[in-house]
A = this chain, B = another copy of it.
């Protein structure tokens, strides 16, 4: 979206002198109020300028994309997550690795009695490779990252919250959970950087919002 020269001038005037009335803007430009009416209505509609009666026009500091940001921020995890993969904590590291290979996954959620007990991340596996434990005899519970040190998100959370957690905590794969019995976490989904990357491509292709 490109602004006309006059719209750009109006934005600059309001940035500098706002709050300012439409009449005063017109006067500075040497134009009639009627001439700039549609420019002002465009600029307020896309939220670059705000307008309040008896106050005038002011610069919001927002861009045309503030609405898109809001829309992106409101996307819900449950609509963009993947199916979870998990196994019991008594499984051997070897069997987990075979599963990861077959399913092309980077992490495996580990459960105890069906509830989230831990996660085996890429980093846990790499750490295991540096050591010399027997891969077929070591249960995954020995190498997993254990609750409460596992980052997870709730099924009601936003994609934005999950993506932010992934970036700030350096996570590959987040369990998406429902809370049962006040504290037990039932794993109902998986949200990864792959999901975010797919979403980014879809936004570029205008398939979202």
Contacts and interface: CB of A to CB of B under 8 A. Distances in A.
Interface of A: 1, 37-39, 41-42, 45-47, 62-69, 72-73, 94, 97-98, 100-101, 104, 106, 122-123, 125-127, 129-130, 135, 160, 163-164, 166-167, 170, 172, 192-194, 196-201, 203-206, 209
Contacts of A160: 201, 204
Q: 4 nearest interchain CB pairs?
A: A193-B193, A38-B38, A38-B41, A196-B197
Contacts of A73: 204
A203 B125 CA distance: 32
Given A72-B204, A129-B129, 5 more contacts: A65-B209, A69-B205, A104-B123, A125-B125, A167-B201
Specify how many copies of this chain sit in the oligomer.
2
A119 to B, nearest CB: 15
A66 B203 CA distance: 10
A2 to B, nearest CB: 9
Contacts of A203: 65, 68-69, 72, 203
Nearest to A129: B97
A138 to B, nearest CB: 12
